[in-house]
Structure 1
Amino acid sequence: MYDYCVIGGGIVGVATAHRIRATHPGSSVLLLEKAGRLAVHQTGHNSGVIHSGIYYEPGSLKARLCREGARRTVEFAAAHGIPYEVCGKLLVATDAAEHARMLALYERSVANGVEVDLLDAAELVRREPHVTGVGALFVPSTGIIDYTRVTAALADEFRSGGGEIVFGAEVTAVAESSDAVTVSGPAGSWRARRLVACAGLQADRVARLAGLRIPVRIVPFRGEYYRLPGDRKGLVRTLVYPVPDPELPFLGVHLSPTIDGELTVGPNAVLGLAREGYRKGSFDPRDAREVLGYRGFHRVAAAHVRTGLRELRNSLFKRGYLAECRRYCPELTLADLLPREAGIRAQAVAADGTLVHDFLIERTDRTVHVLNAPSPAATSALPIAEHIVASLNN
């Protein structure tokens, strides 16, 4: 009998197990991960950005935890010798409509307490000579890091403090009783007094195994990236993003320097027909059947037909993808877009077609389920873990 069991070896699950050990040092804590290593899915397939919290609804969990998470991530990296860089981010407006949205976003940044500089076209070009636009916001607190390394450092401290990690532990059954939760699968069975499920792409399925009647289903969206050739790595010094359209669910294609010296372009957002299939054309019958048969997805698709078709076109034809990048970096060419592995975003969608934007956590007497933790969950992982562990004690 363990005191606590955590399902999921991504950064949120590992940070939660780490936090439990830190706040309950005498407790026994088990972390289950179905893969053979940590950070296999969303944690290991993102752009490595330390987000500032500029976009999110004031007062939301995302807004609050992202600001705190950015500070805590940098502090943790500095204390553990993990490379990071606070390089800043530009959000570039390329026309009058985007400029108006940019000014609205500036007001939101003020409400969220995020430092932002408002730039005109001349100042934008002075800062980034290869980027063009009618204006931009510069967010100095945005940075870059490798979240796989952060996860590994958290796991090392967790294990050194007495925590246990079991790999190859797929969960196929969860049974809650009055005094314990039993978790089982092909690799074995485990009992714990409390369970926390941070299952990411499988979050809804694990919650249903535990008997929850949850109001959402995970819809996977593939985010396809390219990397630029070595001679283009110095093209920009900062992260360069388009100004997001609040009517659309994702942020758009951006230029992202990485902490290991690459310069990437992406991601787009196309429907994934395999929750854990990263190659183009990946297909899993169960995953496809669940998403295509879900009325919530039908309503999302109907509401965003033009956007969905554009994203699909850009996925199939590189010239369309390039056109998105050239809006703010016109000198890029087709030859600059080299293949890079895709990521998959676990997006919770309600039955009425609403995309859940904030972090979503549900609980029973002995279990806590993280049902929606998209970007900026990696940035926010440490304060998310504190939030989860505090709820275990209520």
Structure 2
Amino acid sequence: MRERTAIIGGGIVGIALARALALRGLEVTVFEKEDRLAAHQTGRNSGVVHAGLYYQRGTLKAQLCAAGRVSIRDYCAEKGLPYREVGKLVVAVDASELPALADIERRAHANGVPHLARLDGLDRLREIEPHVAGIAAVHSPHTAAVDYGAITEAMAEDVRGGGGTVLTGHEIVGMQISPDGVRVRAAVSARPADRGSPQTVDQVFGRVIVCAGLQSDLVARLVGADPSPKILPFRGEYWALDAARTDLVRGMIYPVPDPRFPFLGVHFTRGVYDNVHVGPNAVPALAREGYSWLTVSAKETWESLRWPGAAALAKQHWRMGIDEIAGSLVKPLYYRKARRFIPELRMRDLSSKTAAGVRAQAWGRDGTLLDDFAVDQVGPVTLLRNAPSPAATSSMAIAEHVLEHYILARTPE
């Protein structure tokens, strides 16, 4: 009898893992708590296929982003899904940003980013982006835009076609490791309205892979894994650029990230369907799935505040936190950040806020925000503990990495 594998989480990484298993002829079942796939980080991100500009050489991010970009490109071609290489321009607005830009250029070359070009002077920048402001930039022509939700659904069809099962409306509420395998208990809800009194079902699997994103640390606790890293949710809010003004941006315009801070900053992104959005910012969410200021979980917020690393994080990044919160609440402050890159931008061009996303940021006991992908193993349970950007880009490569190092070649503990 074939060993059965459960995947917990129906985002793009979980579905990519399920697909990789199904294509190898292995029996796989996906559990997703929502009534659809890609409901959280996958379906709410900017749709960028990253080329690998920012990541420190030798990290999993650097290794898997490069392979993942090619895999996503080829998969979209195979399935007839939209894939547009609109290009990314990382812009230094003034001389103070030139050293950090040079560091990005070095990292990008070390990571083998294809056809990267250094541009100096406003005239060179405006050959790529006619409305941009700045003194220098690096240009990545193969940075692309896709629809990650559509990619996830296509891969889910591959899973089903390979004999796998994809279950939505199944929230994992218990896991127990025994000599016979891992007993997984799921609360089943056919409709959101039914979740007050869901039924539960139990199944036993030979192994389990957890890709639970915003809930990953909570699911890890079910098998006694270390509580650290904890998930700290950060909401990223986007403004839509008015449709009549999308000609201000040809592709993607990114800032030079401040190395003191863990987030990139506000940028312009042309999507795969020709919409242009501005953002995201990064504000602490008041709930794990807090997509607006009105969604508050006192319990989850209190758990973050009492985490051992809370004081150290606040001490290090309180200025950034205040600045980001202010930009979220006061549109002119958000607009001022965006206008640095496009002086012709008018505040009314930011026409409406679009659906926000919440980033599942892994957070250590010492207050450190984990930067790289992180995987734990508890017996037959593999736990993806941190999968920040570029996880969507890297999803198919992450799947191969996890299978190679934690599943197919796993030795007894």
Q: By the TM > 0.5 criterion, same fold?
A: yes
Aligned to 2:301: 288
369, 373, 387: which one pairs with 1:359? Answer: 373
**Aligned-partner SS, 1:227:** strand
Which residues of 2 match residues 22-61 of structure 1 at below 5 A? 22-23=23-24, 25=25, 27-61=26-60
TM-score (norm 1): 0.97
Q: Which region of structure 1 is more displaced relative to structure 2, 4-13 or 277-286?
A: 277-286
Alignment check: 8 A CA contact 2:86 2:270 kept: no
Aligned to 2:258: 245
| Runs of 4+ displaced beyond 2 Å | none
Which whole-Å CA distance do the structure 2 matches of 1:32 and 1:285 have between them?
Answer: 27
Unaligned stretches of 5+ residues in structure 1? none
Aligned to 1:343: 357
Which whole-Å CA distance do the structure 1 matches of 2:11 and 2:390 have between them?
Answer: 13
Deviations 1:16-42 (A, max 9, x none): 01111112x1x3211000000100000
Aligned to 1:5: 6
Alignment check: 8 A CA contact 2:21 2:27 kept: no
Which residues of 2 match residues 17-166 of structure 1 at below 5 A? 17-23=18-24, 25=25, 27-115=26-114, 116-121=116-121, 122-166=123-167
Alignment check: 8 A CA contact 1:197 1:368 kept: yes
Which whole-Å CA distance do the structure 1 matches of 2:34 and 2:395 have between them?
Answer: 20
Shift of 1:279: 2.7
200, 213, 223: which one pairs with 1:210? Answer: 223
Shift of 1:2: 6.2
Q: Does 1:198 align with 2:197?
A: no
Aligned-residue identity in percent: 43
Alignment check: 8 A CA contact 1:215 1:350 kept: yes
Alignment check: 8 A CA contact 1:219 1:297 kept: no
TM-score (norm 2): 0.93
Which whole-Å CA distance do the structure 2 matches of 1:297 and 1:31 have between them?
Answer: 34
Alignment check: 8 A CA contact 2:47 2:145 kept: yes
Shift of 1:118: 0.4
Deviations 1:226-284 (A, max 9, x none): 00111112211111000111111001110000111210000000000111121333101
**Aligned-partner SS, 2:234:** strand
Aligned to 1:329: 342
Shift of 1:297: 2.8
Which whole-Å CA distance do the structure 2 matches of 1:11 and 1:221 have between them?
Answer: 19
Which whole-Å CA distance do the structure 1 matches of 2:382 and 2:81 have between them?
Answer: 30
Q: How many equivalent pairs are there?
A: 392
Which whole-Å CA distance do the structure 2 matches of 1:291 and 1:358 have between them?
Answer: 21
Alignment check: 8 A CA contact 2:286 2:293 kept: no
Which whole-Å CA distance do the structure 1 matches of 2:28 and 2:109 have between them?
Answer: 41
**Aligned-partner SS, 1:190:** strand
Aligned to 1:384: 398
Which whole-Å CA distance do the structure 1 matches of 2:139 and 2:395 have between them?
Answer: 24
Q: Give the root-mean-square deviation of aligned CA atoms.
A: 1.2
**Aligned-partner SS, 1:47:** coil
